[in-house]
Every structure is written in C-alpha cells, then in structure tokens.
Homo-oligomer: A and B are copies of this chain.
Amino acid sequence: MTMTHDNPSPRRWGILILLLAVVFAVSAAGSWVTLPKISTWYAGLTKPSFNPPSWVFGPVWTTLYAMMAVAAWRVWIADRADGAERQMALAFFWLQLLLNAIWSPVFFGLERPGLALIVIVVMWLAVAATTVRFFRIDRVAGWLFVPYLCWVSFATVLNAAIFRLN
C-alpha cells in the first residue's frame, strides 16, 4: 500500500479506531438487547438440532466484528482502488452494518423471529454484495468477510428454523 497526501499514517490509524468503535458499539447494543432474553424468552423457544450452545455466539461475533472493521479499514485506505468503487463498497458495508444493528432489536427485543428473518435475508444479500466488492478492491478485505458471510448464512438458516418451530 502506498502512502498518499490524502491519508497520512496517523489519520489511517484514527480511521481504524473509528471503525472499531462503531462496529463494537453495534456489538454492545446487540448484546445489551440480547443477553436479558437468553435465559428467558429465548430459552423457552423450540430450537433445531443444529442450534449451537449459547456460549458460542459471544466469541464468534466478537471475532467477526473485529474482522469486519479491519476489512472496511483496508478498503477505506486502499489508495490503489478507484474512488467511486471504494465509495460503493463502503456504502454496502454500512448498509449491512445497519441491518446487522437492527436484527437483534427485532429478533430479541420485539421477540419477532419472522420479521427478523426478513431483516437477515436482506442482510445476507448486503453482506454478500459487500464481500464481492471488497474482493475487487483488496483481497485480504474480501477474505476477512468470508467467515462473516458463512456465519450469516448459518444464522439465516437458524433464524428460519426457529421461526418455523415456534
């Protein structure tokens, strides 16, 4: 990566911190709405056989959120890339993050798995579009999004199963 006038090094690190802050704010808000429901409303739902134990979700999401922020950061500072391409890729990133932020209040907050399923399907499309666009700009950023896309695919199936079973 080349250093340009636009993005001197200290500013680059500032952007990474900013992205981590926003992503982990979404993560914290999600946990805040989710945790009180795990042992109450969620415990009472019929779960499919492939439902992972609850302790899995915390470390998985924390890792995925960190990877997501680093991926967006790499695309943000990818000087080689065309500005318009980068702007569109980041728009999809923000869109998927917005949908990610909405999913927990809908599923756990409103206790509406059916409505949350609509959110996560649109979110899956946005994550897939982000992954494709990130790959075009920075290969590492693309790969950082692949585990997230896999996890959201799994989460979509899980959400659909919970909706069907309850």
Q: Which residues from chain A sit less than 8 Å from chain B, CB to CB?
A: 6-7, 11, 15, 18, 22, 26, 29, 33, 76, 82-84, 86-88, 90-91, 94-95, 97-98, 101-102, 105-106, 109-110
Contacts and interface: CB of A to CB of B under 8 A. Distances in A.
A25 to B, nearest CB: 8
A95 B7 contact: no
Contacts of A11: 84
A36 B106 CA distance: 15
Say how many copies of this protein the assembly contains.
2
A110 B32 CA distance: 12
> Chain B CB within 10 Å — which of A6, A15, A83, A109 has the most?
A83
A110 B33 contact: yes
Given A94-B91, A105-B110, A109-B109, A83 B33 contact: no
B94 A98 contact: yes
A6 B83 contact: yes
A112 B141 CA distance: 37
A106 B7 CA distance: 37
A6 B110 contact: no
Contact of A102 (B22, B95, B105, B110): B105
Contacts of A22: 95, 98
Contacts of A109: 105-106, 109-110
A48 to B, nearest CB: 26
